[in-house]
Structure 1
Amino acid sequence: MASIQKRGENRWRLVAELGYDAQGKRVQERKTIIVDDPSLLRAPRRLQNYLDAELLKFQMEVEAGHYIRPEKLTFEAFIEIWINKFVEVELQEKTKVSYKFHAERRIVPFFRTMHMDKIKTMHITDYLDYLRTPEASLNRDGKPLGSATIVYNYRVLRSIFAKAVEWRVLKDNPMTGVKKPREDDIKEMEYYDEKEIELLFMALEDEPIQLRLQVTLAVTTGMRRAEMAGLEWKNIDLVNGVIDIKQTVTMFKDGAPVIKGPKNKQSKRRIALAPAVIDEMKLYRTEWAKMKLQLGDKWTAGDSEFLFCRTSGEPSDPERLTKRWISFHRKHDLKPIRLHDLRHTSVSWMVFKKVHSEAIAKRVGHTNTKMLQIYAHIFDSVDQAAADVFDGMVIPAKKKA
């Protein structure tokens, strides 16, 4: 008969019965559980109900053949549990995709059949060393992984084994003592300087209004790509010239946009528009309305009115915004920077124009002004302007004489 045995102050052993074997020996499975909730420990009846429920669940798992002893749990089997109980439940869509990709394509093939309790710190360091070899590359060219990818794998491993300890599959975490790999090939932030900005807007003059507005918004508002993809006309007040950032489109999953709130509390913000940008938006509003009218029944997005949208009315895939930008800067032979670097250009220009750091941080949705320190060196003329304020303060010795 299934039973519960007290093994300590907050520890109990569950015993599930499976009858008798061919030799008449009783077949049992045992599992130890720990109750950490003080309020539960102080309420005997509630505690007993909880233990009874855990015992019934354990007995059913054993009878159904679903229970696996932690010491017999393979890494591959645990990853399936980790994905279903943590990745799919707690992570954002883009992070889900990344975690699952690295776990299934890189990490599982390395540890696949090892039992969880047999994986030691040395195995983790061996894996990180393996990532630095050409064999770890999933590209046809066999180019070694960048340090950022290796660090990302470290983060995924840390999550896997932290959950293994939290769920008491493991007593000790093999990640303890494993240092985070160095990121020694981080790509420096890029931006357009004054002359490059001038070339950019000259190149935009004869481009379609949709592309023109996309690039203009990126430079003049510092919006993130996901914020531009999630922008609807209802979020824009053309009379007062402001944009409210209330939602983002981070990616597409199974052909549908993943629409969520801003990145953080500061990201939900109001951005003022320059008069020239308001004029561009009014022009685009007219063109956009004509396009929607012409689409007729093809418009299936209901009341949604995304600025940058597909012919169905659904928002543009953020990747599409990136591809549009790449095609544009290649066409005009502009310096090749990322779409996100237009956001850096926006901040850099405000630094150049001596806008207060608090105002810049609020405008672009930075959590604090410390993020702006990386922009201080952007334009040589900023430093020169700082030097010029001291002109006249120092009187040369010859003039003093």
Structure 2
Amino acid sequence: MTTPRDTPASRRTRANGDGTVYQRKDSRWEAAGYVLAPGNTRKRVRVYGSSRKEALAKLTEKIASSNRGLPVPSAQGSVAAYLTYWLENVAVHHLRENTHTRYTACVRLYVIPGLGKKKLAKLTAKEVRTWLDQLRTTCQCCARSLDAVRDQPQCCAAGICCRKRLSPLTLAYVHSVLKSALEHAVREEEIPRNVARNVRMGTPRPRRFEPLTGEEARVFLTATDGHRLSALFELALRTGLRKGELLGLRWEDLDLANATASIRRTLQRTNSAGLTALPTKTYSSERRIALPTECMHSLEQHRERQAQEREAAGAGWKASGYVFTRPDGNPIEGTTLTRHFNALLRRAALRRIRFHDLRHSAATLLLEQGVELVVIKELLGHAHIGVTATVYAHVRLRLQRDAIDLLGNALRTTATPGTRPDDGDEPRICAAPVR
């Protein structure tokens, strides 16, 4: 009589649901069993190993994942194939056109060259981290062969590397694009988990900006006097509106009687529709703000100037309804506004800054005047107060130093001789009787 110990390993019986393990004719070991598949169905999978223990371990791992509710991956294609599908069939319906264009360029320039040939179902977090580390340390002129399109060789082709590497913000953006694509693959049950989410990149430092000081802001406002768009620049500096929000402002959005403005849209140029009005950047960006008294006067003057331009244009006037237009009534391009802004900076002999720095200048000056952070968050239209706190952390730190200095001055103040430590109006604190 044989005992289970005497039975060969290939003939031992396994419990129901544990699968089967046997040795093939080529001396490899094969294990097969049923696991969870997409659509809440069951699927028989096969794994292989050089020994019975190796094959059994692979099968046990798949069965354990199935018992936790993770279906077996159904993706058989490459990362490049899936990213192409995701961009053309999924992301195009959920992203703005300009955002989709940036996503497409990011996938074409960075993701596909580095990970495109990998199998989607077999992509690991280690491979993603290794690829990101290579992006961080690789010169992009060399990696993208930019010397091939130049008349004269430069960088590595000339033996001198320019070390043009991706910035931490760009690297974080590339990582976020890959995470978004793989997250949709998880939702479609193509892969069991998002391996890109397990890779930690660290929080990049916010982009440095140079806001105008109080004195520089006054000089800039003086330089805008007489300009046909002086009301726009004053509104940008006093309220912190974005460039697209200013250009997309309509007269119907202004309530001059109650001194308020409703921010409902942004004006942007897209590849398909040209200059067009789009929804605001986020739901929080659609807001109602109070208008300063100075902006009310400048807007009234601007409306009178626009009426004169309408009469001068005659039949050639384009009734677009926008507050800030060209002399013929057509909306203003963002690049045109930037050109006027740079000309004003040169006229005022101010250092060159971006137009968006007017928004940062408004928030910085408000913080320095002691305005609460939540009020600034509502005025700027940030989605979360953490965004406002992070962007203007350096300003808050300076205010903390001022507060600490005030406390230090109070602590250094000595009491006048002959004065009591308290005014004596309050009764002395004594122990209450215990009953």
TM-score (norm. length: structure 2): 0.66
1:119–1:295 distance in 2 versus 1, CA, 3 Å? farther
Is the Cα–Cα contact under 8 Å of residues 298 and 311 in structure 1 kept in the other structure?
no
- 2:251 aligned partner: 233
Is the Cα–Cα contact under 8 Å of residues 219 and 346 in structure 1 kept in the other structure?
yes
1:192 and 2:212 matched: yes
SS at match of 1:248: strand
Matches within 5 A, 1:1-400: 10-11=40-41, 70-71=75-76, 73-132=77-136, 133-135=138-140, 136=143, 143-175=164-196, 177-183=198-204, 186-206=206-226, 208-210=227-229, 212-300=230-318, 302=319, 304-310=320-326, 313-367=329-383, 369-373=385-389, 375=392, 378=395, 384=402, 395-396=413-414
d(CA) in 2 for partners of 1:193 and 1:138? 43
1:203–1:165 distance in 2 versus 1, CA, 3 Å? same
d(CA) in 2 for partners of 1:394 and 1:198? 37
1:137–1:232 distance in 2 versus 1, CA, 3 Å? farther
d(CA) in 2 for partners of 1:253 and 1:289? 32
Is the Cα–Cα contact under 8 Å of residues 75 and 121 in structure 2 kept in the other structure?
yes
1:365–1:292 distance in 2 versus 1, CA, 3 Å? same
Residues 47-96 of structure 1: CA deviation (Å, up to 9, x unaligned): xxxxxxxxxxxxxxxxxxxxxx832x233322221012221011223321
d(CA) in 2 for partners of 1:82 and 1:102? 13
1:91–1:312 distance in 2 versus 1, CA, 3 Å? farther
How many residues align structurally?
335
Give aligned-pair identity as a percent: 24
d(CA) in 2 for partners of 1:145 and 1:251? 26
1:323–1:139 distance in 2 versus 1, CA, 3 Å? farther
SS at match of 1:270: strand
1:198–1:88 distance in 2 versus 1, CA, 3 Å? same
SS at match of 2:308: helix
Shift of 1:222: 1.4
Amino acid at match of 1:70: A
Is the Cα–Cα contact under 8 Å of residues 241 and 274 in structure 1 kept in the other structure?
yes
1:98–1:199 distance in 2 versus 1, CA, 3 Å? same
Amino acid at match of 2:172: V
Amino acid at match of 1:209: R
1:385–1:170 distance in 2 versus 1, CA, 3 Å? closer
Residues 346-377 of structure 1: CA deviation (Å, up to 9, x unaligned): 12222333334443333332345555545476
The worse-fitting range, judged by mean Cα deviation, of 281-290 and 163-172 is 163-172
Question: Which sections of structure 1, spanning at least 5 residues, go unmatched?
Answer: 1-5, 14-68
Is the Cα–Cα contact under 8 Å of residues 351 and 376 in structure 1 kept in the other structure?
no
SS at match of 1:243: strand
Is the Cα–Cα contact under 8 Å of residues 377 and 383 in structure 1 kept in the other structure?
no
Amino acid at match of 1:196: E
Question: Which sections of structure 2, spanning at least 5 residues, go unmatched?
Answer: 1-34, 44-73, 148-161, 420-435
Shift of 1:156: 0.8
Amino acid at match of 1:198: R
1:237–1:111 distance in 2 versus 1, CA, 3 Å? same
1:298–1:103 distance in 2 versus 1, CA, 3 Å? farther
Is the Cα–Cα contact under 8 Å of residues 78 and 119 in structure 2 kept in the other structure?
yes
Shift of 1:311: 6.1
RMSD across aligned C-alpha pairs, in angstroms? 3.5
d(CA) in 2 for partners of 1:228 and 1:182? 31
The worse-fitting range, judged by mean Cα deviation, of 253-262 and 149-158 is 253-262
SS at match of 2:110: helix
Is the Cα–Cα contact under 8 Å of residues 245 and 267 in structure 2 kept in the other structure?
yes
Amino acid at match of 2:98: K
